[in-house]
Structure 1
Amino acid sequence: MKNKVYIICGPTSSGKTSLALDLCKKYGGEIVSADSRQICKGIDIG
C-alpha cells in the first residue's frame, strides 16, 4: 500500500490546522507542518 500525502494550504486563520487534526483523527495520520519560519516533524529539538 502506498502512503498518501495531502497538502492543506490557505490564508491565515482559515482553519487549516483544525482540518488537519480532524483528518488525522479520522484516518490515522501524521501532521508535518511547514511554513516560512519553521519545519517540524514529530522530533524533540529541545
Structure 2
Amino acid sequence: MKGKNAPALFPILALVGPTAVGKTSLSIRLAREIHAEIINLDSVQLYRGLDIGS
C-alpha cells in the first residue's frame, strides 16, 4: 500500500540459535542501538502441542 494513509512498515529481525550462545545479550544491545522493541518467544511457546526436546 502506498499513499498518505498507508501504514508504516518496519523491518523484523529474528535472532535465533542454540541455547547459551548469547542471543539475549546481543538482542538487548541491538535493541538499544537501533531503538527497537524485543519480542521474546521461547521454543515451548512456538511449538506448543508438538513433542520436542526443550
TM-score (ref. length: structure 2): 0.62
Deviations 1:1-46 (A, max 9, x none): 531100001110000000100001100000011112237xxxxxxx
Larger strand share, 1 or 2: 1
- 2:43 corresponds in structure 1 to 36
The percentage of aligned residue pairs carrying the same residue is 36
1:18 matches 2:25: yes
Higher relative contact order (CA 8 A, sep 6+): 1
RMSD: 1.6
- 1:37 aligns to what SS in structure 2? helix
Q: What is the number of residues matched between the two proteins?
A: 39
Q: Point out where structure 2 has 5 or more consecutive residues left out of the alignment.
A: 1-7, 47-54
